[in-house]
Amino acid sequence: MTEQDLNEPSDSRYDVVVVGGGAAGLSAALVLGRARHRTLVVDAGEPRNAPSAHMQGYLSRDGMPPAEFLATGREEVARYGVELVRDRVTDVARGGDFTVTLERGGRARARRIVVATGLKDEMPDVPGVAERFGRDVLHCPFCHGWEVRDEPFGVLASSAAGVHQALMVSRWSKDVRFFLHRVAEEELADLDLRRLAAAGVDVVPGEVAGLVVEDDRLTGVRMADGTVHSRSVVFAAPRPVPRTGLLERLGAEMDRTPFGTYPVVDGNGLTSVPGVWAAGNAIGFSEQVVHAASGGYRAATAIVGDLRMADLDAALDG
């Protein structure tokens, strides 16, 4: 389907504006459209898994290219009259209705809001790592482990917590080297060292200078002293940066975690701001596609109920 611009943005009043058209936002929109709610999805078009050629672990869609998954989702929601706009929401203001401001100048009003803006992965500043992300620099064994099983893995520590990643990925390969990079060996707990030994993970002290890439394939990890370790896959730990600026500006209660600051939500994604729900990676860094889709669905069913009761109560009062 073609993505359209708002025709008369300043006059548009929607039941719901969904900010973000990834798995979470589109799933919410599907439920809202099927419940006959006038719904607008505004999507900036930068889904988190865009660097990957394939999406794994979503039952019945295992291996589907992420772009195809989202294109199918957009087609499905459009069947129910949901409007989609390729733009970025720069502000959401509270009033009787919410007023949503778009980067290209449009505006829309909405009775309820779903924030499904995902997160951005900030890669460790080791040369080559960001460029190879989603190909042979990976972060998630559940997303990619099967595809690279039994290959020689490197794990790049960003902190002592990198031990967990090294231990986890050792399920998928017996040949794992854990590069301490800027982490001193003394920072690792005794139990961690014993677990690494039990898993057969080699601990490599010293700073990593960069990746060796030949013919567009990762072939090794180069240390600052010039040594090269032959590796075809490196697991790294990007810093998750949730796109929660809109929620913070709306005054939502936020929870600071070691993996980013996320809104406090109930089981359906309702934030502390009445009328504003959130879903997907906007509420937690570990939400996979199937969780994000599920979260969007839950938020939408809660909104349908909320709007229904609001309308009935207004009729009673009127």
CB of 70 to ligand FAD, least distance (A): 8
Q: How far is the CB of 309 from ligand FAD (least distance, A)?
A: 27
CB of 103 to ligand FAD, least distance (A): 8
**Total residues binding ligand FAD (CB under 6 A):** 39
* Residue 23 binding ligand FAD, by CB under 6 A: yes
Report the residue number, 37 or 243, with the smaller CB distance to ligand FAD: 243
CA–CA separation, 179 vs 61, rounded Å? Answer: 34
Q: Does 242 bind ligand FAD (CB under 6 A)?
A: no
Which residues, 6 or more positions from 72, have their beta carbon under 8 angstroms from its beta carbon? none
User: Does 47 interact with ligand FAD (rule: CB under 6 A)?
Assistant: yes
* Binding-site member from 129, 143, 278, 307 for ligand FAD (CB under 6 A): 143
- Asked if residue 299 binds ligand FAD (CB under 6 A), the reply is no
Cα 201 to its chain centre, rounded Å, is 29
Residue carrying the six token digits 């967990």: 164
Determine, following the binding rule CB under 6 A, whether residue 100 of this chain makes contact with ligand FAD.
no
Q: Could you tell me if 233 and 153 are in contact, meaning their C-beta atoms sit under 8 angstroms apart?
A: yes
Binding test (CB under 6 A) with ligand FAD, winner from 3, 34, 51, 272: 51
Q: Which of 113, 201, 287, 297 binds ligand FAD (CB under 6 A)?
A: 287
Closer residue to ligand FAD (CB): 114 or 167:
114
Answer yes or no whether residue 263 interacts with ligand FAD by CB under 6 A.
no
Residue from 9, 17, 21, 196 touching ligand FAD (CB under 6 A): that is 21
Q: How far is the CB of 302 from ligand FAD (least distance, A)?
A: 17
Least separation in angstroms between CB 109 and ligand FAD: 16
CA distance 296 to 41: 12
Q: Which of 116, 211, 270, 302 binds ligand FAD (CB under 6 A)?
A: 116
Q: Of 142 and 311, which CB lies nearer to ligand FAD in the complex structure?
A: 142
> Considering the rule CB under 6 A, would residue 288 count as an interface residue with ligand FAD?
yes
DSSP secondary structure letters along 95-139: SSSEEEEETTS-EEEEEEEEE---EEEE--SSTTHHHHBTTTEES
Tokens of 233: 């896959």
Q: Which stretch binds ligand FAD (CB under 6 A): 201-209, 211-219, 282-290, 307-315?
A: 282-290
The residues binding ligand FAD (CB under 6 A) are: 19-25, 42-49, 51-52, 55-58, 88-89, 116-118, 121, 134, 140, 143, 243, 280-282, 287-290, 292
